[in-house]
Structure 1
Amino acid sequence: MPTDAQLLLLDGDVVGANLQAEQVMAAVREAFVLHSQRAGRVFPVVREKLHTGGVFGIKSGDVASQNLLGFKAAGFWSSNRGLGGEPHQATVALFDPNTGRPLCIMDGNAITTARTGAAGGLGLQLLARPESSRICIFGTGVQARVQLDYALTLLPQRCTVRYVTVGGAPDAVFESAFRARCAIDIARDRNEAVAASDIVITATPGGGALFDADAVQPGTHLTCVGADTAGKRELPEGVLQRARIFVDDRDQARSIGECQWAPQLPCIEIGDVLAGSATVERAAHDVTVFDMTGLALQDLTVARFLHERAIENGLGTSVPWPW
């Protein structure tokens, strides 16, 4: 057995500095297409509540043609805020599928943020009305920021943004991050803000319905991020029943996404649209929902290019990992 094997470690600084938006978008698009063509496998998701109040999950999969194998261990610990830390925690590991040996362990927080933002951006490009310019966003945290960043980057016209916070108070830091790119203001009435919007983005912990169902007007597109565990939801009863539903993975959405609340409704996997096996013929009055639960393949395709770049440029820290 070889004794000179090495394990590459990539911390958050290395990962964050090498996440380029265009590459992330390309990797996420590739992940959806691989999933649609069943060229990449997604293994059953682990998602469990802990005695500590946290939620722990594992998403794993492989792409045989690329010798790509790995998982992301991630979850949400709200108590981290009291410690001055990030509630979302994630770690990605890549393995050699021929031997089972670990190749690379990397910080997964920035990967999760970037790939989820890119997925939401792809959903907007495919599903929102092209003339959409009025955005309502629920949440002002890390995921809300990246979703809004992609929306403002990809929508061709200047947008107006109204945001909703838990307590209804303005978030000056959130506003300042986007004020140069859009007209942004706090929403005083969440139902009015939804009714006046072309795009609604929900990026909260998924603690319950965020607005009334009848606030959603014909033609609205909804990007739903927060429902990723059994029992979570952001949409009120009645919205899915009116909508054309798109998901990243049908079974996963029906078990831990918004679709868990209406699993009998038909839905289309976004990868099928990107691969050309399904089409989107959007009428102006259609309500569309992209229920995003996150695919392991998204994490793995992004981690793959980070691993390759690290090797090419001598990044990260290698530690002995003998057999």
Structure 2
Amino acid sequence: MPDAQLLLLNRDAVEPALQGEQVLAAVREAFVLHSQRAGRVFPVVREKLHTGGVFGIKSGDVASQDLLGFKAAGFWPSNRALGGEPHQATVALFDPHTGRPLCIMDGNAITTARTGAAGGLGLQLLARPKSSRICIFGTGVQARVQLHYALRMLSEPCKVQYVSIAGKPEPAFEAAFQDRCSINVARDRNEAVADSDVVITATPGAGPLFDAEAVRPGTHLTCVGADTAGKRELPEGILERARIFVDDQEQARTIGECQWAPDLPCTEIGDLLAGTVSINRPLTDVTVFDMTGLALQDLTVARFLYKQAIESGAGTRIAWPW
């Protein structure tokens, strides 16, 4: 097939196409596919490098949709000194019948959007009705998208307290949300947690971010930063008090917050979305959504981006004969 082509979608092609409703629908579909085992998630590769970076591969397939691919991604903190983004990701789709690559696309925006949508779906399912007080740890790219989807999913006007690395106000972060909520830097992280209905942790996962005693009954926690063995954001003792929900049990117990309490029971959020498990949430329950990220999320989002690009002619096509 000398006329075979490979489609390339760079950041400028991917970012504008990531519309909120489509991303939410794709992520919801990924969770349901995983719950029904209609989509497979292959073992995760996650390794520290001699350069100080962390490199990972998440892959999977959906046989009924002829969907096959992977995301190669990781975290390189030294990129900040170069003026670059420390998170790097690339997504590739393949024809499962021939093994030929169909599309290679920038995965940074995909990772950001699908993780934010996942956190939003979890919050919608698990947070107490009329939750309106949010404490968020972090002010980076993932913190921003998590807060974006949280404000989108919560029905009440919200008060937001954020914890920055330096503990000082970050005007750019506040400016991004000041038209959607009341937002201020937290004076004390434990007081901010205690005063919140929802706590979002979106940091590099270097260690516990607050004291366990600060978490009040009824709090919902969305945990993003623990995605590698050895990482954590929650203090010891929280998981034992909580009802735990995960995107994937094995991943959560290997690289998520659940690695610190692997014997505790947990429920996959896809089972809630698929209706195979119901949740009766007493208002005093503490709930935790331990998110490690599913390959199926990347693939369902990448699939609609690929189809849109084929229909619209977006992207760059290069000869890839075989």
- Per-residue CA deviation, residues 59-112 of structure 1 (Å, 9 max, x unaligned), is 000000000000000000010000000000000000000000000000000000
Report whether the alignment pairs 1:199 with 2:198: yes
Report whether the alignment pairs 1:311 with 2:289: no
- Per-residue CA deviation, residues 175-205 of structure 1 (Å, 9 max, x unaligned), is 0000111110000100000000000000000
Aligned positions of 1:103-142 closer than 5 A? 103-142=102-141
Report whether the alignment pairs 1:180 with 2:179: yes
Aligned positions of 1:176-255 closer than 5 A? 176-255=175-254
Report whether the alignment pairs 1:62 with 2:42: no
- Per-residue CA deviation, residues 225-264 of structure 1 (Å, 9 max, x unaligned), is 0000000000000000000000000000000000000000
C-alpha displacement of 1:154? 1.2
SS at the partner of 2:22?
helix
SS at the partner of 1:30?
helix
Q: Aligned AA for 1:19?
A: L
**Alpha-carbon distance in 2 for matches of 1:113, 1:5:** 31
SS at the partner of 2:51?
coil
TM-score, normalised by the number of residues in structure 1 = 0.99
Q: Aligned AA for 2:222?
A: T
**Alpha-carbon distance in 2 for matches of 1:86, 1:161:** 25
Unaligned runs of 5+ in 1: none
C-alpha displacement of 1:280? 1.0
**Alpha-carbon distance in 1 for matches of 2:172, 2:128:** 29
Report whether the alignment pairs 1:22 with 2:21: yes
Aligned to 1:36: 35
Aligned to 1:264: 263
SS at the partner of 2:150?
helix
Q: List, as ranges, runs of 4+ consecutive aligned residues in structure 1 with deviation greater than 4 Å.
A: none
- The total of aligned residue pairs comes to 322
**Alpha-carbon distance in 2 for matches of 1:270, 1:5:** 40
**Alpha-carbon distance in 1 for matches of 2:180, 2:36:** 37
**Alpha-carbon distance in 2 for matches of 1:220, 1:120:** 15
**Alpha-carbon distance in 2 for matches of 1:272, 1:175:** 36
Report whether the alignment pairs 1:84 with 2:83: yes
SS at the partner of 2:243?
strand
Unaligned runs of 5+ in 2: none
Q: Aligned AA for 1:52?
A: T
**Alpha-carbon distance in 1 for matches of 2:170, 2:75:** 22
- Per-residue CA deviation, residues 103-129 of structure 1 (Å, 9 max, x unaligned), is 000000000000000000000110000
Aligned to 1:156: 155
Q: Aligned AA for 1:129?
A: R
SS at the partner of 2:103?
strand
Report whether the alignment pairs 1:94 with 2:82: no
SS at the partner of 1:284?
coil
**Alpha-carbon distance in 1 for matches of 2:168, 2:320:** 50
Q: Percent identity at matched positions? A: 80
Q: Aligned AA for 1:55?
A: V
**Alpha-carbon distance in 2 for matches of 1:143, 1:238:** 25
SS at the partner of 1:151?
helix
TM-score, normalised by the number of residues in structure 2 = 1.00
C-alpha displacement of 1:214? 0.5
C-alpha displacement of 1:167? 1.4
**Alpha-carbon distance in 2 for matches of 1:193, 1:49:** 33
**Alpha-carbon distance in 2 for matches of 1:49, 1:124:** 31
C-alpha displacement of 1:161? 0.2
C-alpha displacement of 1:303? 0.1
**Alpha-carbon distance in 2 for matches of 1:236, 1:166:** 18
**Alpha-carbon distance in 2 for matches of 1:75, 1:32:** 22
C-alpha displacement of 1:36? 0.3
C-alpha displacement of 1:144? 0.2
- Per-residue CA deviation, residues 116-172 of structure 1 (Å, 9 max, x unaligned), is 000000001100001100000000000000000001111111100000011101110
**Alpha-carbon distance in 1 for matches of 2:183, 2:307:** 39
Aligned to 2:72: 73
Q: Aligned AA for 2:182?
A: A
Report whether the alignment pairs 1:145 with 2:144: yes
**Alpha-carbon distance in 1 for matches of 2:107, 2:308:** 16
**Alpha-carbon distance in 2 for matches of 1:258, 1:307:** 33
Q: Aligned AA for 2:150?
A: A
